[in-house]
Amino acid sequence: MLTVNGVTKKYKKFLANDNLSFTIADGEIGILLGPNGAGKSTIIKSIAGLLRYEGDIEINGIDNHELEAKKMLGYIPEMPALYDTLTIDEHLEFVRRAYKVEDTGIKEKLLERFELTDKRKKMGKELSKGMQQKVSICCALIHDPKVVIFDEPMVGLDPHAIKELKALFQELKAEGKTVLISTHMIDTIEDYWDVAHIMMNGKIAATKHNRPGSADEKSLDELFFQITEGSAAASTAAKKSEEEEA
């Protein structure tokens, strides 16, 4: 379970996150949706323990700065952070050893799943952005984390990798893990999410739960455009989705 309680983050005078609070339960996929500059990456980095902030963040009830919490957290950054002169194999081996994970063959499984087996001897600097993103995902999953946070994970990935990633979200959910995904690409979000928080100017402007049979509620598209662009854009989005459905 991931709990964010009253988190405020300022960059000098700029308020990037304003008293954010939300919870993602075990076996749930949470989405942070919002335009560029809404504060999504800031809260993701705060959860990963990479920023200083006011408020509380807990991973399965433990403060995110504690070592026990770090063991349970997997983080996929927006920009893959690989070592230029380490191979894909060595990246995974380094993270496995640093997290003290016994060699149970998980490395091979991840390499195979993301079609990296034949490129395992390539160095970080030789990889394309998409490849680097795949390695970054493998590194974050190698220690079998209980909570996984993805910051704009689809950017730069090829269609096959996107499909694999979406399947992975479902698998993580089925395994009872907590997943949080930040994205500004509303088109990439299908029906796999449980709760979506729409962010605007550092705040959560709306929260929508994905419940079957709630036809009277606004769709995620409508809600998103209503918040980010106003009601006119929302009605255009509603018409568009009706046309698509028809």
**Where do contacts with other proteins occur on this chain (CB under 8 A)?**
11, 41-42, 45, 48-52, 65, 67-68, 70-71, 73, 75, 77-79, 81, 83-87, 90, 93-95, 97-100, 121, 123, 125, 129
Least distance CB 81 / other proteins (angstroms): 4
Contact 133, 153 (CB under 8 A): yes
Of the pair 28, 78, the CB lying nearest other proteins is at: 78
Of the pair 91, 113, the CB lying nearest other proteins is at: 91
What is the amino acid identity at position 194? D
* DSSP structural state of residue 149: E
Of the pair 1, 86, the CB lying nearest other proteins is at: 86
Least distance CB 87 / other proteins (angstroms): 6
Least distance CB 42 / other proteins (angstroms): 8
Q: What angle do CA 58, 99, 66 make, to 5 degrees?
A: 25
From the list 93, 98, 144, the residue with the least C-alpha distance to 121 is 93
Least distance CB 15 / other proteins (angstroms): 15
Of the pair 13, 211, the CB lying nearest other proteins is at: 13
Which of left, alpha, beta for 225 (phi over 0: left; psi -120 to 50: alpha)? alpha
Give the C-alpha separation, 232 to 226, whole Å. 8
Least distance CB 198 / other proteins (angstroms): 22
Of the pair 41, 228, the CB lying nearest other proteins is at: 41
Give the C-alpha separation, 196 to 79, whole Å. 23
Of the pair 50, 232, the CB lying nearest other proteins is at: 50
DSSP string, 151-203: ESTTTT--HHHHHHHHHHHHHHHHTT-EEEEEES-GGG--S--SEEEEEETTE
Least distance CB 241 / other proteins (angstroms): 32
Q: Is 68 helix (H, G, I), strand (E, B) or coil?
A: helix
